[in-house]
Structure 1
Amino acid sequence: MTRQMAMMASALALVLGAPAALMTAAPVQAATAAPAGPPQGRGDYKVLNAVWAEFLAWRDAREGASVPDYTPQTIARQSRELNGLMARVQDMNVASFSRAEQADWLAVRSKMAQHMFWLQVSKPFSRDPGHYVDQMLYPPMTELPVSGAEKDRLVARLRLIPQLAEQGKRTLTEAAADYADLALYNLEHADGVGHNHPWRPVPPAGVIGWFDDMAARAKDKQPDLLPDIMAARSAALGFRDWLKAARPKMTAKAGVGEARFNWYLKNVKLLPYNADQLYVLGARESQRLWAIHALEEHRNRKLPPLLPAASKEEYERRRADTKAAITQWLKDEDIITIPDDIGPLYVNVPWIERPGGRNFWEEIQYRDASPDLFHATIPGHAFDGNMGKRDKHPIRSRIGDGVRAEGWGVYLEEASQKLGFMAGRPRVRELIDIFGIFRAVRVAGDIDLQLNRKGVKDVVAEWRQNTPMLDENVARVDAEIYLRRPPGYGIGYTVGMIEMQKLLADVRFQEGEKFELKRFHDRVMTIGRIPFSLIRYDMTGRDDEVKNFWRMDPLPPA
């Protein structure tokens, strides 16, 4: 049997096993011994909450330090401190906890494991020049003038940049080639997308360009800031020159490798799949979406094409009307509870007239706003986030999971079609398909990057070949995000959607005719933003996945 055939057979086993597997996909992590049960140590649930509070204080102190310290001595000390906290978490009588408390314990340990991985494997402070470039980017975007405490914070951030640049030169001892190239690009070029960047008719040329932009504004509005601005700019230039000179020696691979990627999937993301199985699931989802897209195109072949809005005013009117229609439809169709005091819900994709033309997101949204409104606004990310702010649980309110967040958003895209919102918007269904295709092809790209099978340029080229309307800038920015974030964020969209659909199937199967979609969605909104495997365990009691997570595996060697 070839490797590809074996991968496909393994993935098919997830859904073609015994009849129960039609509703409950069996975990697929290989094991050499029977899974361990929950630990039977000494600590109780009260102790878990205490250790969790200590961990949050430790994390916040490290991440909120006024002057970040990435020296080897500090990283070693932080690793020892974290290992001590993890040892205390392991020494708990989890077997005596309630089911929800056991899910909390696994969520806590997974977050600690994530930070351990960051310190010992990801190591952006020594591997990724972009770790320092990122911290240079946003201070010069500050709107001027500023005063009082806001001015003090800006001056402190500007004065930190020379220290960051010098620290980066000392600590980047194992920098990866792709990381270095991305950092150099971002120092000197606009990324062409501008996530959270202030609008400029001609985007400033990267970090250095933003310092020029800030200096020009400060000259007229707040000249007393110019010395700090120019010192920060000089430090960014010096870091760029150092990076260019050092680049030929930066030959390391950026990805974490297969063994460590699989470790992360199981022990941090708490997913019941390995890289090979995810690769097949992503490929199958790409094929499925292209097939239904072909059918949809044929169905709509006699309809006029959807044209982008011709002006900012037309686009904003369409967007407001669509948001109101979605909100009312969710209420009328008993799909999810929308609290009257939900608060403001942000909307992505502002109107921008780019010299080079629309990017991928704008090609979709300027034609119809509903795809991203479902995913990112209501009841997607913005709504989801506002609901999360209401959570007062001491553990779950402080935990987020990318697969859960993005999976919920992607699930809503296809759900909006199945539930009828797109009945009168046939051409929009084609746009939803295209959104889904881009999510699905990311699975292979994310895995290929982390397993060092391909570099950023190769993945960008493949994504563009397989995704309609995808431009180079959006593809490159997304590839950078998924390579440089903790592993596996790019898979979270499609795989999270699969896990959300699994949860829906399990609960519907378990509740039978008593099942109510609105109650189900409301429960998902309030149970916490923890990994889907834990939500599934908490909601259904099925332990076929979590039973493989009780014992944390040792971290594989590099």
Structure 2
Amino acid sequence: MNPTNFFFVAIVSFVVSSGGTRAQAPPQRSPDVSNKALITKSTPSISEDAFKNQSVSAATATLHKMADDYYAWRNENYPVRSSDVGLHTWDDRLTDYSPAKIAERAQRVRALLEKIRAMKTDNWPKDERIDWILFRSQLENVDFGNRLLKFERTNPQVYTGEYTDAIFSLLKKEYDTPRKRALAATARLKQMPALLKQGLRNLQNPVKLYAKLAIQSARSIDPLLNNSLMALDVDLAPNEHDELIRARDGALAAIHGYADELEKRLPKMVDFAPMGEANYNYYLKRVLLLPLSAGEVEMIGRAELARYRALEALLSDPKLADPDPKRAAHIPADQTSFLKAYESREAEMINFLKEHSL
């Protein structure tokens, strides 16, 4: 069983807002002093539930405040991720992967998770309790990565992913003028050599499988910067254009050097190793919130594999189910060739969908 197949996490977003309407002031009235000696009169009893409800309301408000503060902090500390999801406040920044900052972020998440775990939610309304469970699972996911996976030290794709997403997040939607997006790209490109150098220092225990994937990504990134990015070079002043070109060329040289250095280190890298059944059970229960054990997930996987193998018997030629790419008449040499071949069949795919009313 390969537990990494289940490293997906449904991202749940919380938008907690408060609002109120401004009421009009009541008309002035003469005070009623008929009950001025209140201490001598009996007063209506106050239900204990009123205090309980007040306590629950305060606790849930605290949860919402903690969630709001966490999301605001996370968004600012992971500017590339923020750009990628449409928040363009910090488009000129990259994530700080210095060891001190990594440790600081991990400690903050851990401390917040302990507070969330300590909350007593048995008497909370159902919706509020669901919010608590979902927020806790998000923090569990981050903390699990910090404690066990430690991708900043083991996975070179962290840094190639930051590099790629930093530019692609500025291109995929026209949220601002090309010039402003180009200036943001220039600022990020200037920071990329330092990012990759820091990444190589951080990678104390890189996994060979992750490194090979990172090398492939690094060596196929040129079209993104040389072609896609340059579409933003529309209204730049001459000096801004020159600055963009210099930053782009420096970033490309840095990513190629990153790939070369990883390749040199490959022989000494460790092979991929599963996290272990106990850790996977924890991940299933506390992060994915699934009522399944590792053994049960494996059983489902084996049953699905058998079912799909049985479905292959319905094919006119069982060889069509063979995943070996060598059976294809033409194998694209690289990612660019693959994309060209894929796009060349666009009309064919559209016609197929129309003919079959799909």
TM tier, smaller? 0.5 to 0.7
Which one has a bigger Cα radius of gyration? 2
Select the residue among 246, 259, 263 that pairs with 1:227. Answer: 246
Contact 1:130 1:183 survives alignment (8 Å): yes
Whether 1:168 aligns to 2:183 is no
What does residue 112 of structure 1 align with? Answer: 139
What does residue 72 of structure 1 align with? Answer: 99
Distance 2:212 2:166 in 1: 22
Distance 2:129 2:267 in 1: 49
Displacement of 1:368 in angstroms is 4.1
Whether 1:123 aligns to 2:145 is no
What does residue 48 of structure 1 align with? Answer: 63
What does residue 184 of structure 1 align with? Answer: 215
Question: Given the two structures, how large is their TM-score scaled by the length of structure 1?
Answer: 0.41
Select the residue among 265, 272, 282 that pairs with 2:284. Answer: 265
Change (3 A) 1:125 1:221: same
Distance 1:357 1:151 in 2: 30
Whether 1:157 aligns to 2:184 is no
Distance 2:235 2:67 in 1: 46
Displacement of 1:136 in angstroms is 2.4
What does residue 255 of structure 2 align with? Answer: 236
Distance 2:305 2:134 in 1: 30
What does 1:136-535 correspond to in 2, within 5 Å? 136-138=163-165, 147-188=178-219, 206-213=220-227, 223-224=241-242, 225-253=244-272, 255-291=274-310, 294=313, 368-369=352-353
Displacement of 1:116 in angstroms is 0.7
Displacement of 1:294 in angstroms is 4.4
Whether 1:89 aligns to 2:116 is yes
Displacement of 1:128 in angstroms is 1.0
Displacement of 1:53 in angstroms is 1.3
Displacement of 1:235 in angstroms is 1.0
Displacement of 1:90 in angstroms is 2.1
Give deviations 1:422-471, integer Å, cap 9, x for gaps: xx969x8xxxxxxxxxxxxxxxxxxxxxxxxxxxxxxxxxxxxxxxxxxx
Distance 1:172 1:100 in 2: 42
Displacement of 1:114 in angstroms is 0.7
Q: What amino acid sits opposite 1:157 in the alignment? A: R
Instruction: Name the SS for the 1:181 alignment partner.
Output: helix
Displacement of 1:232 in angstroms is 0.9
Displacement of 1:159 in angstroms is 1.0
Give deviations 1:1-44, integer Å, cap 9, x for gaps: xxxxxxxxxxxxxxxxxxxxxxxxxxxxxxxxxxxxxxx99972
Distance 2:180 2:351 in 1: 43
Instruction: Name the SS for the 2:303 alignment partner.
Output: helix
Distance 2:307 2:347 in 1: 23
Contact 1:175 1:251 survives alignment (8 Å): yes
The structure, 1 or 2, with the larger RCO (C-alpha pairs under 8 Å, 6+ apart) is: 1
What does residue 26 of structure 2 align with? Answer: none
What does residue 195 of structure 1 align with? Answer: none
Contact 1:165 1:239 survives alignment (8 Å): yes
Contact 2:156 2:211 survives alignment (8 Å): yes
Distance 1:63 1:130 in 2: 16
Contact 1:127 1:176 survives alignment (8 Å): yes
Change (3 A) 1:215 1:78: closer
Contact 2:155 2:207 survives alignment (8 Å): yes
Distance 1:254 1:101 in 2: 39
Instruction: Name the SS for the 1:96 alignment partner.
Output: coil
Change (3 A) 1:147 1:363: closer
Question: Given the two structures, how large is their TM-score scaled by the length of structure 2?
Answer: 0.62
Percent of aligned pairs with the same amino acid: 24
Give deviations 1:33-63, integer Å, cap 9, x for gaps: xxxxxxx999722221111112212222221
Q: What amino acid sits opposite 2:250 in the alignment? A: A
Instruction: Name the SS for the 2:77 alignment partner.
Output: helix
RMSD: 3.9
Unaligned runs of 5+ in 1: 1-39, 189-205, 299-351, 371-423, 429-558
Instruction: Name the SS for the 2:128 alignment partner.
Output: helix
Displacement of 1:179 in angstroms is 0.5
What does residue 74 of structure 2 align with? Answer: 59
Contact 1:265 1:271 survives alignment (8 Å): yes
Displacement of 1:353 in angstroms is 9.3
Distance 1:60 1:79 in 2: 15
Change (3 A) 1:108 1:248: same
Instruction: Name the SS for the 1:182 alignment partner.
Output: helix
Count of aligned pairs between the two proteins? 263
Contact 1:127 1:175 survives alignment (8 Å): yes
Change (3 A) 1:209 1:256: farther
Distance 1:63 1:148 in 2: 23
Give deviations 1:322-351, integer Å, cap 9, x for gaps: xxxxxxxxxxxxxxxxxxxxxxxxxxxxxx
Change (3 A) 1:364 1:97: farther
Displacement of 1:369 in angstroms is 3.5
Q: What amino acid sits opposite 1:181 in the alignment? A: K
